[in-house]
Chain A
Amino acid sequence: MRIWPVASGVAWRTLKNVFTNPSILFPSLAFPLFFFTAFAGGLSQVARVPGFDFEPGYTSFQFCFVLVQSAAFGGVFTGFGIARDFESGFARRLLLAAPNRTGIVLGYALSAIVRWAFTATVLTVVALIAGLNVFGGPFDVFGLYLLALLVNVCGLLWACGVAMRLRTMQAGPLMQMPVFLTLFFAPVYVPLGLLTGWIEALATVNPITYVLEAVRSMLAGDEAHVALAFGLVLGMMVLFAAWSVRGLRKAEAAG
């Protein structure tokens, strides 16, 4: 059964809701900009810490984190919309009407990608004005945005799975807290080599660490962990896709 009409319909409706409702659009746009301002502006002195050797500078170092964070949270914010659709009863009508229900998940994923693309564009423009240095070539730049986009899809699939299981806006903290913690248990402020103690142990086993290191290395034009990062993110995508489709089945069973 054709999946595209369902996916495009869901994506179009979700994007129309987002772009015509400032209270939905504004937080996902403002949060990354705000974190970028606070971290790149307030912590620039960290670049002088002995052992900090990221050539493009601290603004660029933090841009990479905020880009990945905005991608992950862009997915989670779209998950809030799914929960809202269940609360309002729209999602149940959608389940009844859609000939191919997997298209519903695909539609939400497409809308998350478009929504994040808008956020990433604004963030990049602001970062360039604020002094972002890009030392990598076009292939590196393409790679770092592609990696972030895959993180965005992972965030959406995770949140979608939660939203379809719990079907209430009160699931919001459950969608965002694990994502928030996973992001902040990575080398946010300094490279992995400068972390010590428990955070170093956690960061070493945290897949987002390698995503961040890969994104930063591509920005610096000195690739490291790139294949590992893509492998990890694709693995997470498969896991979270199964999680969200299982969630869809649970929502179907709940009626």
Chain B
Amino acid sequence: MSNSAAQIWALALRSVMRTARQPASAIPPLLFPVMLMAVNAAGLDSSTKLPGFPTDSFLAFALAVPFIQGALFSTMNAGTDLARDIQTGFLNRLSLTSMRGWALIAGQLGGIVVLGLVQALFYIVVGLAVGVDFASGVLGILTLLVFAVLVSLSFGAFGLYLALRTGSGEAIQGLFPLLFVFLFLSSMNAPRNLMEIDWFRAIATANPVSYLIEAVRSLIITGWDGKALALGFLLTLAIGLGAILLASAALSERLART
């Protein structure tokens, strides 16, 4: 194993173990989105009677949301873990070693990728258990897994950037409501074409989270929708790339190598 690969592996393993050892970090991302989905699906089931609603099952419509909401938790987890490393001095000690900056970022994201995969599998199993029929079939489910991991990775990288900028776990927790705003001001509860309030539709249309939800939703209720998938994947990659670049720049500022 090359030196860089060994560094990434060691940090990734540490990240995975740390996530697995903290039920408070691993369980809420699984349960909370599913609970919110169940409540919303039950409360808004009558929405499916609206003319033009794309499915007769609000549960199928709402199943896309946990995938993105779970990824928001990835942002918090990645950020909080790295912030703790900064606060405890672990990052400073690492800076005395030959650890490369990009290896640190890749390694830290290891736990988030694993958690993202577990989350996505959990949501798919829940969906299948409650009778949701995935319109895109088995291949669609595999695509959904890849997409969910990418979203977790991108949001996780953004969490790393926030941690490196603020250096405080409390500040990261304080940003959680702000990230939640992106979720609620999106097409999570209604298709954009059915939104009646113009300003809300404009915000949802400008909000990238709408397109991530719609990409997942297309695989569940539509089948293969090239436009929705392309928009979803491209935006996820753009967010991820941007976040990694920002995190790298913030890391170089924070690591005072001698």
Chain A residues with CB under 8 Å of chain B are 23, 27, 30-31, 34-35, 37-38, 40-46, 48-52, 173, 181, 184-185, 187-190, 194-199
Contact = CB atoms under 8 A, between A and B. Distances in A.
Interface residues of B, number: 30
B185 A37 contact: yes
A48 B199 CA distance: 19
A189 B188 CA distance: 14
A45 B47 CA distance: 8
Interface in B185-223: 185, 188-190, 194-197, 199-200, 203-204
Contacts of B184: 34-35, 37-38, 42
A45 B50 contact: yes
Given A43-B189, A188-B39, 17 more contacts: A34-B177, A37-B184, A37-B185, A38-B185, A44-B195, A44-B196, A45-B47, A45-B194, A46-B44, A46-B47, A49-B50, A173-B28, A184-B43, A187-B43, A194-B46, A196-B45, A198-B42
Nearest to B188: A42
A110 B200 CA distance: 37
Contact of B204 (A31, A42, A45): A42
B1 interface: no
A195 B42 CA distance: 7
A189 B28 CA distance: 24
Interface string B52-65: 00000000000000
Interface string B171-182: 000100100110
Contacts of A190: 43-44, 46
B21 interface: no
Contacts of A41: 195, 197, 199-200, 203
Contact of A197 (B45, B180, B199): B45
A42 B185 contact: yes
A189 B43 contact: yes
Interface in B17-63: 28, 35-36, 39-40, 42-47, 49-50
Contacts of A45: 47, 50, 190, 194-196
Nearest to B39: A184
A57 B204 CA distance: 22
| Interface pairs A-B: 10 shortest CB-CB | A199-B42, A41-B200, A38-B184, A189-B43, A184-B39, A49-B46, A44-B196, A41-B197, A194-B46, A45-B196
A31 B204 CA distance: 18
B92 to A, nearest CB: 27
B45 A27 contact: no
B174 A23 contact: yes
A59 to B, nearest CB: 9
Contacts of A49: 46-47, 49-50
Contacts of B35: 181
18 contacts: A30-B177, A37-B184, A38-B185, A40-B197, A41-B195, A41-B197, A42-B185, A45-B194, A46-B46, A46-B47, A48-B50, A49-B49, A52-B46, A187-B43, A189-B44, A190-B44, A196-B45, A197-B45
Contacts of A195: 42-43
A233 to B, nearest CB: 22
A42 B174 contact: no
B58 to A, nearest CB: 10
Contacts of A43: 44, 47, 189-190
B169 to A, nearest CB: 12
Among the interface residues B35, B36, B42, which one has the most CB atoms of the partner chain A within 10 A? B42
Contacts of A52: 46
Contact of A51 (B46, B185, B197, B203): B46
A13 B43 CA distance: 41
